[in-house]
A and B are shown apart, each in its own frame.
Chain A
Amino acid sequence: MNILLLFIIIPILTIIGILFSKGQKQTRLIAAIGMGFQLIAAGVLIYLFLAERSAGNTAEMLFNSNWVWYESLNIRFNIGVDGISVAMIGLTSIVIFAGIFASWEVDDLPREFFTSLILLSSGVFGFFISLDLFTMFLFYEIAVIPMYLLIGIWGSGPREYSAMKLTLMLMGGSALIVPGLLGLYFYSNPAGGPLTFDILEIAKVNIPIEAQRLFFPMLFVGFGVLGALFPFHTWSPDGHASAPTAVSMLHAGVLMKLGGYGCFRVAVFLLPEAAHEMAWIFLILTTISVIYGALGAIWQKDLKYINAYSSVSHCGLVLFAILMFNETAMNGAIMQMISHGIMTALFFALIGMIYGRTHTRYIDEMGGLMKVIPFLGVAYVIGGLASLGLPGFSGFVAEMTIFVGAFQHADTFHRVATIIAASSIVATAVYILRVVGILLLGKINNEHYEHLTDAKWYEKLSTGVLIFGITAIGLAPLWLSDMINNGLGPIIKKLMMAGPIN
């Protein structure tokens, strides 16, 4: 059996287990066991993948299996992974595992909560292993819809508004994706043979430039909505702020990466000429995303909003780097996805835990928490330092790579864009340090806070896993960047055929 099938089967088995469970304790135990297996499977997958590669297997996609589904339309269930998807699968497994423990205390309809959460993760896994655009899109939508219930039922604040806004905007994105995918399908075989949704097959075809000009913006914006592309990012702050902890983690950590992944795997990879032509438009938009997100975060007082805006900034950086069309920057883009995924999940987990103790998310109302909850405080500082790109953590590796890659473009336009985007690092430092200063240091400004208890075992486990991820990438980035480079090869080659790249 193909090991990739495990990533569909384990969530389904876990959901079935949850349906038969009784009470909160059993439910969360089953969810934790299931996602634990998932994490192990991801570890095994990474190991097998690296072993296969070092044994000299140079096929573009490993662990490939291909079953016919709808024969006449040539829709296939075609799965396989390259280095990039393996890295994304690893990220997803870590975040969902940590997410289960971060929502250990959910007591309102726990069965429904964990079912939706795991259903969402299965959509994400399916998206990353699919090589067929149809199933890829199917899993994409599966990942988006449980969001509505998760935010709507277990969320806080204006949850109904946020849930509806988020769902409709993301579905609006997929509204653009559908004609784009159909366009790719009907141009996939100019010779007149059977049409196909297979990404690798479509990549071999040269789609006429007029068609590319029509479909590239649809696909890039469509996926870009999920990647919080300016001006379609407005779902993100509201959605993240209203969502329950684990959902914010999974959403900012993984789901937003679906957008970036789709942008380069589908839009840029399959329509390279149009990508070259139109990159400048989207480069301007992503630059705005980067700087706007960072500046927005400075103004916010709600911890979740701060982190949501910072996610807009960081994810904007991902799209920004993808549009640079060179190996270094794109490598950085993938690194940034992984790094930001873990980092932001850590932030949201910690915010959830702090909120659970202080019952407020406004930084003005808190202070001196480091003295009472040192574990969470230190974890927050670690996340913050990673976010502002301190060497030794994952953020530094990713952002450094991106900006080095971006600066390889010698023309003024790219240089200016890069400089503006790079200046967001300063803004990031401002909002991170400001939060750390107000929230953790100084005097305790509320006597209730003196009796707060520090992290429980499950909270420590949740944050520990994520911190391990951040430092592992920060200290030993090479295995990851090698893995990514491996997968980037064909994409870069395709881009080179379409036009000059730096």
Chain B
Amino acid sequence: MLIMRHELLLVLIAVILLVVEIFLPADRKHRIILPAILMFAAATVIGFLPGPTGTLFGGMYSTSAFTVLLKNILTTGVLIVLIQSVDWLKKPQHKEKISEYFLLIIATLIGMEYMISSGDFLMFYIGLELATIPIAALAAYERFEEKSAEAGVKLIFISALSSGILLYGLSMIYGTTGTLYFSEVVNGIDGSPLQILAFIFFFAGMAFKISLVPFHLWTADVYEGAPVNVTSYLSVISKGAAVFIFTIILYTVFAKIALMWRDVIYVIAILTMTLGNLFAIRQRNLKRFLAFSSIAQAGFILLGIIGQSQLGMTTVVYFVLVYIFSNLGAFGVVAIISNRTGKETIDDYDGLYRTNPKLSLTMMLALFSLAGIPPVAGFFGKFFLFTAAAKEGLYILVLIAVLNTIISLYYYLLVVKAMFLNRSDQPIAYFKSDAYSRLGLVLCIAGIVIVGFASPIYEMILRLSFGIY
């Protein structure tokens, strides 16, 4: 029981929400928000408490200190997302489906946690599906908005396609090794042509989920169409979970053919960073802008994965942690402004600092963290990723990556320029954001500032990731 405590707690919350939802009168549906968030916060805190580790179902499901850490990182991120969405959920047109939002988010989170804890490909696949399909419903949450509905449909098609490809790859692995258990597949991996084909399918399927170039084409449209808070969930939590399990499987199951996937990742990393960055420069809509920036960030993460060592695993997890706080900070600001004024383009942000200084400063810190500028955490995250790649002697790759951070700095500075340098005739007027949004942003800023300076966090990840590699 306790081994599965993360998932079971979430299931419990989901059931409670479902039951309460039935008994709430229609005009009081919004009252569910605070209890739901409190319950989720309690679950987050409980997740950090020490508990037993072990395997269940004959090895299909396993919990270690490391998977607990990954789950806690994701849960913390989701908590921030939930807090940030309150302001938006309170809009009158969402009155009737507030608890659905929580249910869907929690369902996907359960899927991600199963995925991370999976000990065989079947469990992994079920978790993956559970983590993707509800998101499509979330993307279409504002179903009367054309773009939102479009985003939902696009996401479901892409998910189905990528899952199909992935599944095809898994079937080949089963065909060649005769098993689906990670621990047994490892022994059967010998680099035969069919297995390499299987690996390519697996890789492509995961690349869709992480939105690596050339499998990224859905990202910008879906990110733009979906409601801001769903976009931030999609770009941070969903991507983070996929990165975690992708790294774990590469490092454990496919460790033997590392020489083959290293070159693939080398090329894909360069493509992803460069194309993501170059497309981001052209964007005027902030959601599309952040979509492409998140594609580029995924490219940087590959640099850590290519490290293929304990250092690599640690830096990837550390970077995702930093990325969660930074990106949620940026999306948080975009969400607040979008909810209050409906403005979403960079030009709308002209002169924002003079009317809303605190929001602008938060945005600047978050963007600097994404760009990797000290003293905020993004600098440490990026630098350590580069360290992992340099450890393998890939100095040229590091150089290309750092040059890419300069490109990214350019477009992040464009937003800073709009907020701080430009003057506008009609700036976004001063407004006071609600307590939830502010709490969400404060949490993000705390994360952005503290995670970098507090080396114990990094050391803890390093210690726990020991078992994986």
Residues of A at the B interface (CB closer than 8 Å) are: 69-73, 75, 134, 138-139, 141-142, 145, 148-149, 152-153, 159-160, 163-164, 167-168, 171-172, 174-176, 178-179, 182-183, 185-186, 214, 218
Chain B 404-423 per-residue mask, 1 if CB under 8 angstroms from chain A, else 0: 01100110010011001100
Rounded to whole Å, the gap between the CB of B433 and the closest CB of chain A is 21
Which residues of the other chain, A, contact B402 by a CB distance below 8 angstroms? 174-176, 178-179
Q: Is the CB of B421 within 8 A of A153?
A: yes
In the assembled complex, B37 has its CB within 8 A of some CB on chain A:
no
Give the complex CA separation of A134 and B383 in angstroms: 9
Give the complex CA separation of A454 and B387 in angstroms: 56
In the assembled complex, B170 has its CB within 8 A of some CB on chain A:
no
Q: List 24 A-B contacts (CB under 8 A).
A: A70-B458, A72-B462, A75-B455, A134-B383, A138-B374, A139-B374, A142-B374, A145-B368, A149-B416, A153-B421, A164-B413, A164-B417, A168-B406, A171-B406, A172-B406, A175-B399, A175-B402, A178-B399, A179-B402, A182-B387, A185-B387, A185-B390, A186-B391, A218-B399
In the assembled complex, B398 has its CB within 8 A of some CB on chain A:
yes
In the assembled complex, B379 has its CB within 8 A of some CB on chain A:
yes
Rounded to whole Å, the gap between the CB of B445 and the closest CB of chain A is 15
A to B contact number (C-beta, < 8 Å):
83
Partner of B398 from A149, A163, A182 at Cβ < 8 Å? A182
Given contacts A70-B459, A72-B459, A164-B410, whether A141 and B395 have CB atoms under 8 Å apart is no
Q: Is the CB of A175 within 8 A of B403?
A: yes
Chain B 380-392 per-residue mask, 1 if CB under 8 angstroms from chain A, else 0: 0001101100110
In the assembled complex, B373 has its CB within 8 A of some CB on chain A:
yes
Which residues of the other chain, A, contact B368 by a CB distance below 8 angstroms? 145
Q: B389 — nearest CB in chain A belongs to which residue?
A: A182
Give the complex CA separation of A172 and B379 in angstroms: 15
Rounded to whole Å, the gap between the CB of A86 and the closest CB of chain B is 25
Q: A145 — nearest CB in chain B belongs to which residue?
A: B373
Top-5 shortest CB links A-B: A182-B390, A175-B402, A152-B421, A179-B398, A70-B455
Q: Is the CB of A168 within 8 A of B409?
A: yes
Give the complex CA separation of A145 and B409 in angstroms: 11
Q: A123 — nearest CB in chain B belongs to which residue?
A: B374
Give the complex CA separation of A164 and B86 in angstroms: 37
Which residues of the other chain, A, contact B54 by a CB distance below 8 angstroms? none
Q: Is the CB of A214 within 8 A of B395?
A: yes
Given contacts A70-B458, A179-B390, whether A152 and B410 have CB atoms under 8 Å apart is no
Give the complex CA separation of A159 and B420 in angstroms: 13
Give the complex CA separation of A160 and B462 in angstroms: 42
Which residues of the other chain, B, contact A139 by a CB distance below 8 angstroms? 374
Q: B315 — nearest CB in chain A belongs to which residue?
A: A73
Give the complex CA separation of A163 and B462 in angstroms: 39
Rounded to whole Å, the gap between the CB of A226 and the closest CB of chain B is 14
Q: B388 — nearest CB in chain A belongs to which residue?
A: A182
Give the complex CA separation of A218 and B398 in angstroms: 12
Which residues of the other chain, B, contact A183 by a CB distance below 8 angstroms? 390, 395
Which residues of the other chain, A, contact B455 by a CB distance below 8 angstroms? 69-71, 75
